[in-house]
Structure 1
Amino acid sequence: MNKPVLCALELSDQASDEKVLSQAARLAELDGAQLDVVNVLPDFGESWVSGFFEEHHHQKAVKDTTQRLRDLCTKVLGKDGNAKVRHLVATGKAYQEILKVAETAGSGLIVIGAHKPDLKDYLLGPNAARVIRHSDCSVFVVR
């Protein structure tokens, strides 16, 4: 058994997420590796924005996001395939949390989606580019 494959999903574009998940599942299966699926929620707890949310908001967001990950995995991988997947929800800056999850899980590969860059991506750097730059393991980008 090889190191886990970590699939990072945005859950914002279902067609793109399905494509990324399918590719990650294929790569994990080729290696006989564990498939982990992660989504990162923004951290509103450390800013003035947190005042607009009730205390249980984050717990509800984690629960809802976990269910969305399970539903997507079941749709793309089937019920049996989904049963083998570890569904993870992290909170913070997307690229930092993806890297933390990959390190904690001992991932050998991160599979992440990327869109065509626009001007703001060149100035700020998209999450996929940051994951690629800072990752200690291989990164497979799906377009």
Structure 2
Amino acid sequence: MIKSVLCAVELSDKATDKMVLEQAARMADLDGAQLDVVNVLPDFGESWVSGFFESHHHEKAVEETTATLKSICAEILGQERNAKIRHVVATGTAYQEILKVAEAAGSDLIVVGAHKPDLKDYLLGPNAARVIRHSECSVFVVRGPKA
């Protein structure tokens, strides 16, 4: 029995995010599981790139991303369903942060999207492949819309 489903969305491809969110919600609803939705921001704080941003840039990015995440979840799944979702914005490397959030939440299932891969990532995108390879729980991959 699944008690917690973690859904990872990118917020850059609404069509894929819609498919991933809907599938994760269906799977969570099957067992009455908690649905958590995560988005990962890149970490510019420890590199030379951070010098190009104001000191409060990260906090503002987290705040805006959280609002966007809540808005998209409400739009796709409805306000009532959205009120029960835990929205998480993490910072770092996507696959590592998804795995950390899954572990912290006690997720039994991770639902991720896979975009049309590049030649070097022929079967899956690099983040989806790494989540699958390193996850300690089951992972369900939702293929993005066909071009």
TM-score (norm 2): 0.93
Match of 1:6 in 2: 6
Structure 1 unmatched ranges of 5 or more:
none
1:9 and 1:120 map into 2 onto residues whose CA distance is 22
Aligned twin of 1:77? 77
Q: Secondary structure at the match of 1:40?
A: strand
User: Residue 49 of structure 2 aligns with which residue?
Assistant: 49
The normalised TM-score by structure 1 is 0.95
**What residue in structure 1 maps to residue 22 of structure 2?**
22
Q: CA RMSD in A?
A: 1.2
Shift of 1:3: 2.3
How far apart are residue 119 of structure 1 and its match? Answer: 2.1
Once residues 116 and 15 of structure 1 are traced to their aligned partners in structure 2, the CA distance between those partners, rounded to angstroms, is: 13
Amino acid at match of 2:135: S
1:63 to 1:30, Cα distance in 2 relative to 1, 3 A: same
Letter in 1 for 2:109: L
Q: Shift of residue 2 of structure 1?
A: 4.0
Deviations 1:54-83 (A, max 9, x none): 011000100010011100110111110000
What secondary structure is seen at the aligned counterpart in 2 of 1:131?
Answer: helix
Which residue does 2:141 correspond to in 1? 141
DSSP-derived class of the 1:45 partner? coil
Q: In structure 1, how many angstroms separate the alpha carbons of the residues matched to 2:121 and 2:12?
A: 17
Name whichever structure is richer in helix by fraction. Answer: 1
SS of corresponding position for 1:141 = strand
The SS at the match of 1:54 is coil
**Alpha-carbon deviations, 1:37-66, whole Å to 9, x = none?**
000000000000000000110001000100
Partner amino acid, structure 1, of 2:3: K
Work out the CA distance in 1 between the residues paired with 2:119 and 2:16.
21
For this pair of structures, how many residues does the alignment match?
A: 141
Output the CA distance in 1 between the equivalents of 2:137 and 2:15: 26
Alignment match, 1:99: 99
What's the secondary structure of 2:130's corresponding residue?
A: helix
Question: What is the distance in 1 between the residues matched to 2:63 and 2:95?
Answer: 21
SS of the residue 1:89 aligns to: strand
- The aligned residue for residue 87 of structure 1 is 87
